[in-house]
Each structure stands twice: as structure tokens, then as C-alpha cells.
Structure 1
Amino acid sequence: MTRRLADSQLVTTKRALILAGGGIAGIGWETGILRGIADEAPDTARALLASDVLVGTSAGSTVAAQISSPVSLEDLFERQTGDTSSELDPGVDIEAITALFLSAMAQPGDLRDKLRRIGTVALTTPTVPEAARRAVIEARLPAHDWPARDLRITAIDTATGELVVFDSAAGVQLVDAVAASCAVPGTWPPVTIGSRRYMDGGVSSSVHTAVAADCASAVVLVPASDTAPSPFSSGTAAEIAAFGARTFAVFADEASLAAFGPNPLDPRCRVPSALAGREQGRRVAAAVTEFLA
């Protein structure tokens, strides 16, 4: 089904692994974090990968789908650090795209109004063909069927500004759900699913902790600084802190941020981001182990 945030859900003992957005850099870094934790604490890594709920936004939707596949974490990491890649360089000016967002956000209206305006940016900005972008997502995912587990992928309806959460019961192909979640406005084309068109779930929040409202605890991987702003909140760290459950957040450290470079969508940042993530994963493994104990 597609989950709506208005749905009431009871808090349980379930644990979530929440994977935030962050471009190609974020995919490499999150995979590296998990690989680094596995280096130092294999049981902890296995527990994370076996989390009851996986929530993926943008880059995080890719990683969530990848770790839900039969492919091992070791192989997924090697895919991030290998010489070959199907990623496209969008060739966009990050500052110009940011300016478009800020312009849409500066105009009067509530959150939905602002998201609809950003949706208009997504619909009207020239990009590569939708089919070309879908082929990239297909190549990213080692399996194209929904896994037999609770995987939740976020996207935004460009026309309504509504947050939609795709899962295995939604009647949507996994590739399309991930493509929708990764459709950065002004950079990649919105994704057509049925009669609707969707854009990046990270437009309104990079973490969407509320999607895991039925969980009692969550580990959150964020490929950004803990002081990074959030367009519609006081910041990602504050959003995580306000989550009504036990949380442990891993934010990118200085070495990882340096590896990302100035443009997290640039395919050249993939390998250094994955390697930096692995090193940071080794450093945080003990703390994550303690949280899960």
C-alpha cells in the first residue's frame, strides 16, 4: 500500500534503520558506514541489516533496496568502489538549483504550497529522458522485486505536495519507487507512476522519521553534518531528536564531508565517499553496538 502520515500507528518494540538522502555521495557513504561497522562488529552489522523496518529517502532509498536484496554487504561495497558505474552526470549547477528551491520556499503559503511550487520546478526544468534515468536506477538495484520485509520508500507528489510512502503492497514496481524517491527536482525527471508524477522524497525531509512512527527505536544514517539545515524544519538533527523513540544518529564526520566534495551528485564522489564511510563506520561501530545492546 501507499502509507499516509495521517494513518495512526501503535508504538511497538520494532527497530528501524532510517537511511537519509545525500546523492551519489550518500549512497557510497551509507554503504561504507555499514561495511565499516561489519569490519569491527559483524553481529552489530547483521542486526542493523535485519532491522524490522527500513525507511529510505532519496539516496537512502537506493541503499535500503540494495541491502534488502540477496547480495552481500561486501559485494554492495565493492560495487561502490569499483571502476565501472552506470551513473549519469546531471551537469547541473547546484547553486542554481538551490536558488530555484529557495525562490519557491520564499513565496507565501503553507508547506504543501511550497512543495507544489517545487513540484512545478521539477515538471518544467529540462532533464534527461525519464527512461534514461530509470535505466540508471535499474542498474543500481541488484534485485528489482520487493523484498519480503518492511521496506518503506518516500516520495513527494509533484501536483499535491503530499508525502507518499511506497511499500510492497503499493502495486508499484520497486525500481519506480526508488526512482521517484531519487528524482531531485531540476536535476532528474519526475517519475510517472499511474496518473501521478513524483519527485525526491528528500525535498521536505532527508530522514522522514515520522514514517517509522510505529517503531520503538531507530538508527539513522545521515550523509551530512549534524549542523546541516533542513528546508522545512529547524534542522535534521533537531528532527531526529524530536522523534518519539530511542534514536542513534550517525552524521558524516569531517573526513567524510571532505570526501563528498562540493557536489554530492557528481559520480566522481562515489568511491571516496564509500571509502570514507567505511573508515567512519569502523570508528562508530562500538557506539552503535552499545545502542543496540
Structure 2
Amino acid sequence: MHLPERRPTPPRPDSPAIGALLLLLAVLLLPLGCAPARPPVTQPPQAMRSVPPKVGLALGGGGARGFAEIGVLRVLEQEKIPIGLVAGTSVGSLVGAMYADSGRVLDAEFMAVAVKEADLFDYSALSFFSGGLVQGQGLESFLRAHLKHANIEEMKVPFAAVAVDLSTGKPIVFQRGSVARAVHASCAIPGVFVPVQIGGATYVDGGVVDPVPADVARRLGAGVVIAVAIPRGLPLKAPGNAVEVAYQGVAIMQEQITKCRLREADVVIRPDVSGVAFDDFSQKKRLMEAGEAAARLALPEIRAAIAAKTRLVPEKAPSPGTGAGQRP
């Protein structure tokens, strides 16, 4: 007789075996349920710092009227607007050298007050046969006597003087060598000053092709260019001598060139020098005040130009082992 196969009976849910198994699982899973949630990993915010642009000053020509540029420098220093470099043409190179020598406006003011017309215009009848009426050696002597640095590359503030190579008509930017000689070349008004010889080349006033060297300041690395353009205007009277005729002729030619050059400037300052002749050295105080007034009017524009080109860059982390009180 064949008996049917008996299948094992599964344990009931309330059997002791099932209860023991559930208890074991609960004990094993208990630590997982009680573990605190880990907070998300976050990086601290990276410190940033502001990097303002280098401010370049382009100082134009204008004869004695150029002393208004001292007033502009005075305001920039008072308002703590740092000048990273100076490029100057003609009297702008003279004022620029006075400032760049020490980077202090007070020193430039002292020299500006000290310089006399006779220091700049040493007339000589013999000079006429050399291409001008003024030798220009008086200017060089004055600068050598008053500047602390003899060479451009030694100056406190990076400086450049613009002159023109008479044989090619191209502007030349002096960034090395004798300060006095470079400024002399930059100030050598054609027909007034004897052309200046430097290194086998002949140079005249840089204002012939670059009256306000904003383009030079830009090329030398200025992020913001402040240009000081001395209005030439019409003469107060008809030119009465060869010097006035030559200067007025150059001024008329420069007026159109200046408009083109100033496109490179972020800010243009035009001091009111009306009523002062190009060779009137008796009005220095008034001219400096005119420059100061014009610069103060331009301050909002200057600050806006600097702010627009200020960059935020990550703060550099200290190298390992170079914490406070440790040498790198």
C-alpha cells in the first residue's frame, strides 16, 4: 500500500523560531536606526580681494600753462588716487619728471616755483644757425641740479618722455637714460629750441605728433588713463616775435592731433588757463589753482573709471609651513 508523501509544515508566524529570528534582525538593525545623520560637507567661502587698475597720467604740452598740471597732481595725491606711471610731452614731460623723481607733489611744486623763464629759454644769437633760438642747456642744468635721480629708470614713479625723431617723423618714447636730456628733447619746440642730439639721432618736441600721450600711457600698461590737455585757444594778441609765431603755428597743428590722441583716455581734464600766455611764468599760482579746480570736477568720473576696471581675484592661500610668525 502506497502512502502519500508528507510535506514539512512551515513554522507559524507565532512560532518561537520566527520570533527569535525577528528579534535578531531588530538587534542588528538597531545601530543603523540610531546613528545621527551626517551633515553635508561644505567648503568655506573663498576670500577675495580687489585689484584696482594701474592709473596712468598723460601730461600734455602748453608752455607755461602746463604748470596747471601740478594742481591736478595735488588733487590726485590728496584724494589718494595712486599714479602708477606718467607719460609726458613737452612741458608735460618737465612736470612729469618733477613728480616722478620722488612721487611727491610737494617736491614737484617746489621745483615748479623755483624754475624761471631764463632757465628754460637761454636765448643765443648763435643758436639761430643751429636750427633754433634757444640752446636748452639751461633746462638741462636746472634738472640736473634739482632732481634726485639722473636716469629715467631710477625714478620713483615709472616715467616716459615723448619726443620726435626729426629724420623719420616718428614719436620716440624715452624710458631709459638721462632724464635731463630726454626732457630737453621732448620740450624742443621746432624753430624755437635747437634740435637735440641723442645717440646719433636728432629730436624735437614730442607735441609735433603726440601732444597728449594718452596712447603711450595705455601702451605702457595703464588700465585707466587720465589725460591733462592744456587748451591752447587763440593768442591774446598777434604773435609779436619769432618764438610766439613758431609756438602758435605748432599749437594750431596740435589741436587736431590732440582730439585723436585723447580717444585713448578714460578721463580728460582741461584746466581753464584762459588769459595766460604760453610764456607767462608769472602766473604759476593761478595756473596750479586752475588745475586743482579742474581735477576736483573730474573726481567722480575718475573714481567711476577706476571702479569699472577694478577686479576681484581669489586671495592667495599661505604656503604650508608659512603661518604667522614663521619664515617662508
TM exceeds 0.5?
yes
Cα-Cα RMSD: 3.2
In structure 2, relative to structure 1, the CA distance for the partners of 1:267 and 1:149 (3 Å cut) is: closer
Aligned residue in 2 for 1:251: 270
Instruction: Work out whether 1:223 is the aligned partner of 2:230.
Output: yes
Aligned pairs for 1:55-134 within 5 A: 55-70=87-102, 72-80=104-112, 82=113, 84-88=114-118, 90=121, 124-134=130-140
1:1-293 equivalence runs, <5 A = 14-26=54-66, 28-39=67-78, 41=79, 43-44=80-81, 47=82, 49=83, 51=84, 53-70=85-102, 72-80=104-112, 82=113, 84-88=114-118, 90=121, 124-139=130-145, 141-146=147-152, 147=155, 150-168=158-176, 172-214=177-219, 215=221, 216-224=223-231, 231=253, 234-241=256-263, 243=264, 247-253=266-272, 256-258=273-275, 261-262=276-277, 264-293=278-307
Pair 154,126 (structure 1): closer, same or farther in 2 beyond 3 Å: closer
TM-score by length of 2: 0.61
Larger Rg: 2
Task: Using the TM superposition, give the Cα deviation of residue 155 of structure 1 relative to its aligned residue in structure 2, in angstroms.
Answer: 0.6
Distance 1:139 1:190 in 2: 22
Percent identity over paired residues: 24
Give the alignment's TM-score, normalised by structure 1.
Answer: 0.67
* Count of aligned residue pairs for this structure pair: 232
Letter in 1 for 2:216: V
8 A Cα contact 1:86 1:136, kept in partner? no
| Equivalent pair of 1:18/1:56 in contact (CA under 8 Å) | yes
Question: Which shifted more, 230-239 or 192-201?
Answer: 230-239
Structure number with the bigger relative contact order (C-alpha 8 A, sep ≥ 6) is: 1
Cα deviation code 1:169-218 (max 9, x no counterpart): xxx31111111101111222222212222111011121133323434431
Alpha-carbon deviation of 1:74? 2.4
Contact 2:136 2:194 survives alignment (8 Å): yes
Contact 1:220 1:250 in 2 (8 A): yes
Long gaps (5+) in structure 1:
1-12, 93-121
Distance 1:272 1:91 in 2: 25
Mapped contact 1:123–1:190 kept (Cα < 8 A): no
Q: Gaps (5+ residues) in structure 2?
A: 1-52, 235-250, 308-328
Q: CA deviation at 1:86?
A: 3.6
Question: 2:57 corresponds to which letter in structure 1?
Answer: L
